[in-house]
Amino acid sequence: MAVQGKKVLVTGAEGFIGSHLVEELILAGASVRAVVQYNSLNNWGWLENLSCLSEVEVISGDVRDFHFCKLATNGIEQVFHLAALIAIPFSYTAPNMYIDTNVNGTLNMCLAASEQSCERFIQTSTSEVYGSAIYVPIDEKHPLQAQSPYSASKIGADAIAMSCHKSYNLPITIARPFNAYGPRQSARAIIPTIITQILSGKKEILLGDLTPTRDFNYVKDTCQGFIKLAESTELNGEVVNIASNSEISMGAVLDLIKELIGNEVEFKLDPKRIRPEKSEVNRLFGDNTKLISKTTFQSNFTLRQGLSETIKWFKIQENLSKYKADIYNV
């Protein structure tokens, strides 16, 4: 079920992963309709920077509105549902928004896709639903642990999506990406936080706890994982990790970025960046066996290669100027 020639919809297309996925789908020969959240400025987020934008149909709306979701899915064969609120710290402040967008928005998209008889629906989950690893590597059978309102909302969204598969025969696969990184990522994430502070000339880098480990994946690999899941005929009704099968501590990531940029900087703990003790996910290390065995996916970027590409993008002043390195962005 190749994406080539398919009419596909990407929600959350203006965001970090969404904009990269739009690019990869265009390269794969798909006809892409991109949903961006409505705003009065008609700003399309990171889509504005794509060289392939003329090949993309962009529509503005909100997945919290079912009527809009029906319009968005009209004539669509495959849906990649990425629209979500994702910043963990902000979920402590505004948990209702996360339920409304992530759970109700997913329900709206699933019901709309079902009514429109879409042939494929890729629901975007997150490794945060696993919480701190009980065992590693974390496979798809690992218990789910809601350690933040964000992760709780994504657990709910995944459950809603799977219920639509079982209740309405919507052909769903839940893609569960581990920590994606790369160009265009929000400053709330650790890798762009480190890079932007260093490239802005700071000698002291303000960060939170550097002991947790993460399973980092370059965004182009993550997008290829999405596409391979959409093309698979064996994974209907399945949850699939998109992971590198490895882990690295935040502190080691800081050291590697310092080495690649060639700047000697000091780490300073910023208490504002520390999660509540029971909410911190201390270890993520994903098992990608199912993805590798059931699709033709293969990773094309090591962490060093991906970080080098990311740093190169941030070194372009036009890109770096879009970030506020002096402000902690939740």
Q: Are 1 and 232 in contact (CB under 8 A)?
A: yes
pLDDT category, 326, cuts 50, 70, 90? Answer: confident
Is residue 101 domain-shared with residue 113, that is, in the same domain? yes
Is residue 199 domain-shared with residue 227, that is, in the same domain? no
pLDDT category, 330, cuts 50, 70, 90? Answer: confident
Rounded to whole angstroms, the Cα distance separating 312 from 217 reads: 17
pLDDT computed for residue 10 by the predictor: 99
Could you tell me the two tokens for 321? 């100027």
Does the pLDDT of residue 233 top 90, yes or no? no
Does the pLDDT of residue 1 top 80, yes or no? no
pLDDT computed for residue 284 by the predictor: 98
- Quickly tell me which residue has 């993805």 as its tokens: 291
Does the pLDDT of residue 213 top 90, yes or no? yes
Whether residue 1 lies inside any domain: the answer is no
Written as one string, the DSSP assignment of 262-286 is T---EEEE-GGGPPPTTT---B--B
Cα 86–90–94 angle (5° rounding)? 105
pLDDT computed for residue 138 by the predictor: 98
Whether residue 295 lies inside any domain: the answer is no
- Quickly tell me which residue has 């929000």 as its tokens: 186
Whether residue 40 lies inside any domain: the answer is yes
- 147-161 b/e with 16+ CB inside 10 Å = b? bbbbbbbbbbbbebb
- Mean pLDDT (the chain) is 97
pLDDT computed for residue 117 by the predictor: 97
Give the CATH number for residue 70.
3.40.50.720
Could you tell me the two tokens for 180? 């994606």
Is residue 44 domain-shared with residue 137, that is, in the same domain? yes
The interaxial angle of helices 190-199 and 250-261, nearest 10 deg, is: 30
The interaxial angle of helices 250-261 and 303-314, nearest 10 deg, is: 60
User: Within 13 A of 110's CA, how many CA atoms are on the CB side?
Assistant: 27
pLDDT in tens, 19-28: 999 999 999 9
Collapsed DSSP state (helix, strand, coil) of residue 186:
coil
Is residue 231 domain-shared with residue 313, that is, in the same domain? no
Whether residue 103 lies inside any domain: the answer is yes
What is the domain count for the chain?
2
Rounded to whole angstroms, the Cα distance separating 90 from 149 reads: 9
pLDDT category, 4, cuts 50, 70, 90? Answer: very high
pLDDT category, 179, cuts 50, 70, 90? Answer: very high
Give the CATH number for residue 196.
3.90.25.10
Range of the structural domain that residue 19 is part of? 7-178+216-242
pLDDT category, 36, cuts 50, 70, 90? Answer: very high
Rounded to whole angstroms, the Cα distance separating 148 from 312 reads: 33
pLDDT in tens, 123-145: 999 999 999 999 999 999 999 99
Rounded to whole angstroms, the Cα distance separating 181 from 192 reads: 8
Is residue 202 domain-shared with residue 63, that is, in the same domain? no
The model scores a pTM over 0.85: yes
Mean pLDDT along residues 193-218: 96
Q: Are 253 and 187 in contact (CB under 8 A)?
A: no
Could you tell me the two tokens for 121? 């629906």
